[in-house]
Structure 1
Amino acid sequence: MPEAQIELLRALSSSPEGLSPGAAATRVRVAPSTVSNLVRAMSAARLVERIRPAHDQRTVVLTASEEALHLLERYDRASTAALTRVVEELSDADRAALHQALPALDRLVTALETGDGTRPDSVSP
């Protein structure tokens, strides 16, 4: 599964009530047209469901299908196992360095997630 699809599934799985296409685009920091393309392909693969709320039939809410949630769980288990295996092969010094770097990496992720929305590819040189 392409990384862009995984990112969209993560966003949808963290919002059980679903997301509008615009909110999904904002969440994964891509253009709305990119989300439209992803949703088209992922709907055909039965990974994303488009739901029309009863209170407003003009809108669409996107949710991850049960199949997608199972695939995401399998992906996470495989990724965790691979990372664990590689980290265990590192030297004690390298593992200690990684452990010490975790707080800074956590702050980096938080800063990226709560940033002003400026994407690196949209910054002029």
Structure 2
Amino acid sequence: MEADFSEELADALVRIQRLIRRRLRSGLTEPRLRGAEVELLRLVEARPGIGISDAARALHLAGNSVSTLVNGLVRDGRLARETDPADRRAARLQLTEAAEKRLEDWRRRRAELVGRHLSGLDEADRAALRAALPALRKLAAALHEEAEDL
């Protein structure tokens, strides 16, 4: 029974994320960003000045994969690579204004999309989802901690 619940929950979360991503892609006038690119931009937003190796660890990706993502995002004007004054060989990453605007637009559109669909649910369903948020955050934290140990 617990395995069935785990599988159903994982499937529901994946479906929700996939559908949100698809809906947000429609109507974009700019080239779409891949999931790993968005994750990297959000990480740099949360931790301005992060280095490539720290970003790789935080995203659980190989350093050369993050370097490739950084090179593309720098070329596209979404990331700025600055030299670390303490170690001239190391780069520190910063969002560009274009990336900040893109992330802000993405958040606004995501909130509108999810809000529109939440408003279509009855109050009992909205209350159940609201009540589930702390448990979902704990689940995310546990999954993140396990990934940190890998």
Q: TM-score, normalised by structure 2?
A: 0.72
CA-CA distance at 1:105 after TM superposition: 0.5
Counterpart residue number, 1:85: 116
* DSSP-derived class of the 1:57 partner: strand
**Mapping of residues 11-50 of structure 1, within 5 Å:** 11-16=43-48, 18-50=49-81
CA-CA distance at 1:60 after TM superposition: 1.2
Counterpart residue number, 1:94: 125
Mean alpha-carbon deviation: is it higher for 76-85 or for 91-100?
A: 91-100
Aligned residues: 118
CA-CA distance at 1:77 after TM superposition: 0.6
Counterpart residue number, 1:57: 88
Report the RMSD for the aligned CA atoms in angstroms. Answer: 1.6
Gaps of at least 5 residues in structure 2 are: 1-32
Percent identical: 33
* DSSP-derived class of the 2:111 partner: helix
Q: TM-score, normalised by structure 1?
A: 0.85
Deviation per residue, 1:56-103 (Å, 9 max, x gap): 211111221121111111111110110101111112232122122111
Counterpart residue number, 1:75: 106
* DSSP-derived class of the 2:47 partner: coil
CA-CA distance at 1:9 after TM superposition: 0.7
Cα 1:91–1:33 change in 2 (3 A) is same
* Ranges of 4+ aligned residues in structure 1 off by more than 3 Å: none
Match of 2:145 among 109, 114, 117: 114
* DSSP-derived class of the 2:87 partner: coil
CA contact (8 A) 2:84 2:91 kept: yes
| 2:121 maps to 1:104 | no
Mean alpha-carbon deviation: is it higher for 109-118 or for 18-27?
A: 109-118
* DSSP-derived class of the 1:46 partner: coil
Gaps of at least 5 residues in structure 1 are: 120-125
- Bigger fraction of residues in helix: 2
* DSSP-derived class of the 1:115 partner: helix
How far apart, in 2, do the equivalents of 1:36 and 1:55 lie? 20
